[in-house]
Amino acid sequence: MKRLLALILVLLSSISLAFAAVNLNTASVDELDGIKGIGPSKAKAIVDYRTKNGPFKSVDDLKGVKGFGEKSVAKLRSDLTVGDGAAKAVAKK
């Protein structure tokens, strides 16, 4: 019974990780490319924008990246976050 309970807990935790939002400030091109609606060129554009302009303060900042508008950001909002990346990057300055 303990093994079954442990297995269920492991499965539930892995499911929650699968649905975790991707951090725009720390994600690699490959991680961003894995999100539905973001292909390799858009993923690279996000990383390039982040490198040039610093960390994203909000998901809405994605509108500043070529290829992302109001509608695409709205569709991606639940899959993306800026997490603690912006706060850590600002704290380092």
pLDDT digits (tens, 9 = 90+) for 14-27: 444 455 789 999 99
Q: CATH classification of 21-92 is 2.40.30.10, yes or no? A: no
- Would the pLDDT of 44 be above 50? yes
The 10 Å Cβ neighbour count of residue 5 is 9
Residue 77 CA to residue 20 CA, distance in Å, equals 12
Domains of the chain, by residue range, sit at 21-92
Residues 43, 20, 72, 57, CA torsion sign: negative
CB distance 21 to 27 below 8 Å: no
pLDDT tens string 53-80: 999 999 999 999 999 999 999 999 999 9
| Averaged confidence pLDDT in the chain | 81
Contact partners, residue 9, CB within 8 Å, separation at least 6: none
